[in-house]
Every structure is written in C-alpha cells, then in structure tokens.
Structure 1
Amino acid sequence: MNLHLYLPISAFALAASISSGPVNIVSLSAGATHGLRATMRHVSGATFGFTLLLLFIGLGLNELLLVFPNFTVWLQWAGVVFLVYLAWQLLCDSGQLGDAEQMRRPSFVSGALMQWLNPKAWLASVPGMGAYASDGSLSLVVQFALIYFVVCYFSLAVWAYVGAYLARHVRNPIYLRWLNRTLAVLLLVSAGFLMLENF
C-alpha cells in the first residue's frame, strides 16, 4: 500500500469509528458506570472483534453474503435483540456508582460480539474494503485492518474516557441515571431503524 493512501484510509476509519453508534454508546455508558480501566476490556474486545470482521470481509465473507442473503436479515434481527437487551440494562441502572457491580461488567467477549451484531460495523467494513483493498490482496487487506485497528481502538477509548470523565464530575445518581436512560433511548432508536430496514 502506498503511503499516500494511509491518510485517506485513516480519515475514513476515524469518521466511521468515532461517530455515534451502538458500540460507542455502550463504551460511554460503561466508562461512566464502571470507570475507564474496566471499560478497556470492552474497548479491546470491540476493536479485536471489528478487526476480525474486517479481515473476514476482506478475505471473501462478503461473497458468502451474496450467496446467502437471508443471513443478513438474521444478523439484523440478532442485532435488534442485542441492542434491546443492552438498552434494558441501561434503563434498569440505578445511577449509583456503588451499584455498578450489579450491572453487567464490560467484557472482552461482549465487546467483540457487539461488533458482529452491529450493523454500523458491517456498513463500515464492506465499502471500506471495497474502496481501499478491492483487489483482494492479502497484504492490502491486512494493512487496511491494522490501520483500522489503531483508529478503532483510539475512538472507542475516547468514548470510554468521556464516560469516565462524566462520572467523576457528575456524581449525582439522578444525573447518571438520566444519562443511562438517554443512552438507552439512543440504542432503542438504533434498534428501531434496524427493524424498519426489514419491512
């Protein structure tokens, strides 16, 4: 890959990674509820999960989706169920920082799984690989995935940091409860858009 492509690839990866989406919303909420250190497990899992998805798409998974188009529909419905589950957890959160243990702690596995159920991840992967690694060269696919890995990790860490920052400065449980409820509504809106695509 030529050096002059690194900048546009990085810009594409940053725009797709740092913009609001389900995984970023969960990073923000987890940062506010569990702190930055614990949330980095989610950040790491989501980054590895997305990079693995990106590699699979670059190596031909998107061709499989053309053969089995119903898989995409099932994936969208699984994403809807997962988003509703996460939204429910946020709605039930008390806002008490001491009660954070009662809420599901961020984990590597759930972060990775989220990316595979995240429509935004699929929407970023397929056109990204098509635009920057369309010849299917293993070297190009790996380089694109490595750039995306760094940018994705940074972007999710920023969301987690903002959540942890908010928790340090907004200690009132009422405010944290309303933050989590707002984030839950955003997740439900994302789920709603997914459902509309299926009709």
Structure 2
Amino acid sequence: MQINLIALVMYLTVMGITPGPNNLVLAASGINHGFNRTIPMLLGMAIGLGLQIGILTCFLGSLVAWMESLKLVLAVAGCAYLLWLAFKMANAGQPGEQGETQAMGFAGGLLFNWLNPKVWLMGFNVVMVFLPEHMPVWQAALLFTVLAAGVTLPCIAIWAWSGVAIKRFLDSPRRLAVFNHSMAGMLAMTAIWLLVEMLPAGLAAQALSL
C-alpha cells in the first residue's frame, strides 16, 4: 500500500484547523498574551504533534495491546488536565494585571499534546489508516512527523492570530471575562466529549445513557 499523500495532507489539515483543545488554548493565548508571546507555544504544539505521531508510528505495531490497555488511563488523565486548564482560562486576569497567567511556552506546548485526547485519536488514525505495508517503519515515522508538523503549524497559527485580531473588541474587562468563560466552557465540553470518544464501547454506551 502506497501512502496517499493528498488524502493524508487533507486529513491533517482538517484535524489541525477544526476546533479542539489546542486551538481553543491558542486563541485564548492570542487574546491574553498577544501573538508574539504565543509563538513558542504554537511551535511547541506543532513540533510536539509531529513527534508524537512519529513515535506512535514506531511503536504502535509492537505495543498496540499495551497502548489499548492504557487508553482509558490516558483519556481520564487528559480530560482532567483539560478541565483544570479550562478553570485556569476562566479565571485569567486582564492583560497586564499582576497575577496574570503566563503563556504556556515551547515546552508546555510540546508536552500539551500528550494530554490532549484529540491528538491521541489523530495519531492512532494516521498510523492505522496511512501506514504503508512496504515502507520501513522509521521512514514512515519520519515522513509522518514532518508532514504533521508542517501541515498543522499554519492551521493552528490561524487560531492564535484570530485571538489577536479580535482583541480590540474585547477592550473592556466584562467582554474579556465573557470571552474567557466562553472559551473555558467550550474547552471543558470538548474534554468531556473526547473522553467519551476514547472510552471503550461498553463504557461509552453506559456514559451516554446516564
């Protein structure tokens, strides 16, 4: 099976540009910290996503059973972290206030993907759908890493820039508070939805029936 590069790029583009925890956090950071201070986090997220998909490509084949057993643990840990982040976002101060939350930074962006259920789902799908049978795994991992980072970077940059673009409309404390609470609510709902998506089928059905 040969890699369908067009389909892979389209998949990465759709997943990179659609709403999710990374993009919501980037938009909020653009509002509260500006684009320049968001760039390290932006680069960390894009590079981290590429590296995560590359690592999954290398190890998924031999560790698929182990990874499946950790799926619930990863989902719960990721959901808990995103809910905590939503709480911090809802309580973010005015730009320039003492005690204002700091921008996440490159390392934070790099590590953020490992607790983002959407990135895990994205990585699993890339490996399971696009991994070619006759290409050495390390070559596929390198290709997926470069493509994922390169395609995702401009997609998520749009969200950081959009936060900067609408900042002038949030010049009052009340409007900014409404925005932060709205983004926090969306992040919390996204976290819960992703948790349900990653639950085993039986548990997911029980959760949805409650």
TM-score, L = length of structure 1: 0.89
> What is the CA–CA distance in structure 1 between the aligned matches of 2:178 and 2:116, rounded to whole Å?
24
Matched residue, 1:143: 143
Letter in 2 for 1:128: V
Matched residue, 1:14: 13
CA deviations over 1:47-85 (Å, ceiling 9, x no partner) = 121111100111123642413533111111110121111
CA deviations over 1:105-162 (Å, ceiling 9, x no partner) = 2211221222111111111111112222232622233222211111111111111000
Matched residue, 2:154: 154
Is the contact made by 1:44 and 1:108 (CA closer than 8 Å) also made in structure 2?
A: yes
Matched residue, 1:60: 59
> What is the CA–CA distance in structure 2 between the aligned matches of 1:175 and 1:22, rounded to whole Å?
22
Matched residue, 2:32: 33
> What is the CA–CA distance in structure 1 between the aligned matches of 2:190 and 2:56, rounded to whole Å?
23
Q: Percent identity?
A: 24
Runs of 4+ residues over 6 Å off in structure 1: none
> What is the CA–CA distance in structure 2 between the aligned matches of 1:85 and 1:192, rounded to whole Å?
12
Q: How does 1:50-199 map to 2 (within 5 A)?
A: 50-61=49-60, 63-94=62-93, 96-99=94-97, 102-135=100-133, 137=136, 138-196=138-196, 198=199, 199=203
> What is the CA–CA distance in structure 1 between the aligned matches of 2:96 and 2:68, rounded to whole Å?
46
Is the contact made by 2:50 and 2:144 (CA closer than 8 Å) also made in structure 1?
A: no
Distance 1:122 1:188, change over 3 A: same
Letter in 2 for 1:147: L
Structure 1 residue runs of 5 or longer lacking an equivalent are: none
SS of the counterpart of 1:105? coil
TM-score, L = length of structure 2: 0.84
Q: C-alpha root-mean-square deviation of aligned residues, in Å?
A: 2.2
Aligned-residue offset at 1:195: 4.6
Aligned-residue offset at 1:163: 0.6
Letter in 1 for 2:11: F
Matched residue, 2:207: none
The count of residues paired between Structure 1 and Structure 2 equals 197
Structure 2 residue runs of 5 or longer lacking an equivalent are: 204-210
Letter in 1 for 2:130: Y
> What is the CA–CA distance in structure 1 between the aligned matches of 2:42 and 2:61, rounded to whole Å?
25
Letter in 2 for 1:31: G
